Each structure stands twice: as C-alpha cells, then as structure tokens.
Amino acid sequence: MHQSRHDGHVHYGAHLKSEWLLDPHVAYLNHGTVGAPPIRVLNERKRLLDEIEHQPAQFLLRELADVDASGAPAVPRMRVAAERVAQFVGAKVDNLGFVDNATTGVNAVLRSFPFTAGDELLYTSLGYGGVNHAVAYAAERSGATTRVVTLPQPGAAASDYVAAIEEQLRAQTRMLIVDHITSQTALVLPLREIATLCHQHGVLVLADGAHAPGAIDLDVESLGVDWYAANLHKWAFTPRSSGFLWAAPEHHATLRPTVISWGWKNGLAAEFDLLGTRDPTPWLVSGFAIDLYEEWGGHEICQYNHSLVFTQAKRLAEAWGTSFATPEELIGTMAYVSLPDAAGSSRADAVGLQAALLAEDHIEVPVFADEGRLTCRLSAQIYNDARDFDRLMDAVIRRCEA
C-alpha cells in the first residue's frame, strides 16, 4: 500500500486516486451515481474470471450454488460471499439473496407480492424514477392502486418526513415503497421511524437502500422493514452489478426472484443464487471488496466522506449565494446544493451546464433543474478532497459571471 499510514489510519485525499482507474484530470464528484471499484478489486475479479475459465463446469455448475438445498456443495461460493456481505450490512445470511442491483431487488418484491384489487401501493415524491415504474407495473397487473406522498424538499427536519408519510396512510394502504437515501436529493430518511409508524398502521415497508451500503453504517435487521433492496456497487467498492435483497423471514414463502430457475421454492438462497448461466464475479468478489473497504478505514470512510461533503456543501452554497439547510443527520456521503440563479433554471440549462463542466472544466457532477432552479448533487469519496470542490465552486462562479 503506497498511501501513508499514521496511527493505523489511511490518509484520504487526492493521492488515493491512483487506487482507481478514474481519469486523474477529472474532479470526480459523482461517485454515487454508478460507483467506481478500486483497481485492486478489479484485479481480484479478473483473477476470479480466470479461475472460472480454468474449469467452467466445475465452478459454475458444481461449486457455485446449492439449488436444491441439499447441502451440496457443502460451501457454495455464492453463500460464502453472502456470509461476508450479511456480516457487513447487519443481516442474517439466510435472509439475504444476491440480485443484480437495487432495481432488480425492488422488482422481485413488487412482482411476486400477492397484491389484490383494492390494495394501495404508496410511494414518495423523492423516489427513484425506475423504481416508481416498477410500482406502477405491479399495481397495473394486480388491480391495485398507487398514490404518491409528497415529501418535503431538503431543509426539513427528520420528523417532517415521518409526519408527511403518516398523514397519507390509509386503511387500504398495503405497502410503502421508500428510499433509505433519496437519489437526487441525497437525504438519509429516518427509515427506522418510518417502518415503526407503517407497522403500527398495518402497512408493509419495502426499503430502497440503493445508496446505503458503504455510505452509512448499516444494520439491516434492526431497521424493522419488510424488505431491503440495495447496491454494493455504489459505495461498497464492489464492481457492477452487485446488489442484494434482504427479506424478513415471514415474506420468504411468497418472494420470487425476477427470473425463475432451478432453485424455485427451495428457499431464498437457492432461488436467488443461480438465475441461469451468468457471470457471478461481481458478487463473489464482494468479500474482497468489503475487506479492502474495512482495511482502508470502514467507518472512518463514512465519516470522512460525510464530513467532507457536508462542509463543502455549506461552503459552496455560501460562495454561490444560495442556502444549504439540510440537517446534518440527514446527510450521508452526498449533498444536494442549489446553484446561483444566474446558472439558469430550465432542464436545458442543467444539461448544458453539466456537459460544459465536464468538457471544459473537467468536473463530473450531476446538475438538475428542480422547482425552477438549478441544483447539483455532490458526492464525496476518499479520493476527493477540498480542492475538487474548490474547482467546482470557482467554475460555477466564473460561468455565472461570464
């Protein structure tokens, strides 16, 4: 390891960029969007790919998964990986199955849950568009209805999000689909409180934790939700596509993966570990990726990223003459910041600014048009430091003055 260590700590900042394949000239402030695995993880994945090719039949048919839940192979490779992931996210391994990504996990739940006509699926105004489509699809097929809860924009207190949901729960509400960390607005919602509230009203909770593993400390079993779909490839250093779906034991019997294969009705592990022939290395390398994440600091990574993005969000808003009022407890490793009025207001302005920042200023950051003004979502990862944010701050000011 070439980075210096003092007191057992890895020093974070720009020098760590060499641990990634990321373009060294680009200030990469968009780690959250699709993640970025460190080179060491990519190399380990290549090693696994070679190992598979040495004896593909043995590896993929006889070592990978226990599809008939017979106990053979004694230690299916997918379960070894699942054990490590389960430990990392605070889950019991028997409640955890691998999926391609959070979208697939959410789809598995929504497409197998026995909704009936008259059920209502409640989702939120801050939810992820692709997931909202899956909600609509599940309702359309079953004769259920959908309704959206309008959640406060960033700046509100945690309790305001719980109150907004409480106000919209109805006798017919069957399931709430809610983010743990919202996508565009980057809010860490009070999921435990939301789940408690919903269960008091007899409403099931499907949590979309796409951004959570590796971004915040996670203890899935204690959240009190019914299902938790998440990605490892965004913040937990794994390659794409590697997600997992956690389900409370009482839901295993009705839960099906999006693809039915050999493990049908043989338990969650058998059903999810083998969905036909495919590349299993994104999941199999997850233990290596999590080991590296922990070697580089684990919780300290969350703390560094959190404090960097929170500090810089406030600083940028001040420099841009906008405000950043999101309470710190609702911030993980991303922050949603308003741009100056002079930056524009339309979707075309947002697209143009994002493209210009990348092409001319070599800054990767997502820009949105939201309620008549432009905003950006900042991500902080351990290869970032204040200088990346300085570049964004100055580039936006320069463009607004031009």
Ligand X SMILES: Cc1ncc(COP(=O)(O)O)c(C=O)c1O
Tokens 């959250």, located at residue:
32
Among 95, 103, 379, 381, binds ligand X (CB under 6 A): 103
Tokens linked to 214: 């590796």
Contact between 239 and 20 (Cβ < 8 Å): no
Q: Report yes or no: 206 and 194 within 8 Å, Cβ to Cβ.
A: no
Smallest distance, ligand X to C-beta of residue 326, A: 17
Per-residue binding letters, 146-185, with ligand X (x by CB under 6 A)? ---------------------------------x---x--
By CB under 6 A, tell whether 231 contacts ligand X: yes
Rounded Cα–Cα distance for residues 190 and 348 (Å): 34
**Strand ranges (E), 235-278:** 243-247
Least distance (Å) between residue 194 CB and ligand X: 14
Residue type, 315: R
CA angle 234, 128, 105 (to 5 degrees): 65
Q: How far is the CB of 343 from ligand X (least distance, A)?
A: 23
Pick from 115, 117, 83, 89: which is nearest to 102 by CA?
89
Instruction: Give min distance, CB of 292 to ligand X, in A.
Output: 20
Return d(Cα 44, Cα 358) in angstroms, integer.
31
Please identify which residue in 31, 211, 377, 391 interacts with ligand X, judged by CB under 6 A: 211
9-10 and 5-6 beta bridge pairing: antiparallel
Q: Is 131 in the site for ligand X (CB under 6 A)?
A: yes
Q: How far apart are CB 104 and ligand X at their closest, in Å?
A: 7
At position 367, the amino acid (one-letter code) is V
Considering beta carbons, is residue 179 or 388 the nearer one to ligand X? 179
| Residue 209 or 344 having the CB closest to ligand X | 209
User: From CA 374, how far away is CA 382, in angstroms rounded?
Assistant: 27
Residues 366 to 395 in contact with ligand X, rule: CB under 6 A: none
Nearer to ligand X, 102 or 268 (CB): 102
Q: Is 30 a residue that touches ligand X (CB under 6 A)?
A: no
- Whether the Cβ atoms of residue 299 and residue 236 lie closer than 8 Å to each other: no
CB of 209 to ligand X, least distance (A): 8
Q: How many C-beta atoms lie closer than 10 Å to residue 369's C-beta?
A: 18
Binding of residue 275 to ligand X (CB under 6 A): no
Name which position in 102, 169, 334, 365 contacts ligand X (CB under 6 A): 102
**Interface with ligand X, residue 365, by CB under 6 A:** no
- Give residue for tokens 């050999």: 262
Contact residue for ligand X among 48, 82, 96, 101 (CB under 6 A): 101
Which one of residues 210, 230, 302, 330 is an interface residue with ligand X (CB under 6 A)?
210
Interacting residues with ligand X (CB under 6 A): 101-103, 128, 130-131, 179, 183, 208, 210-211, 231
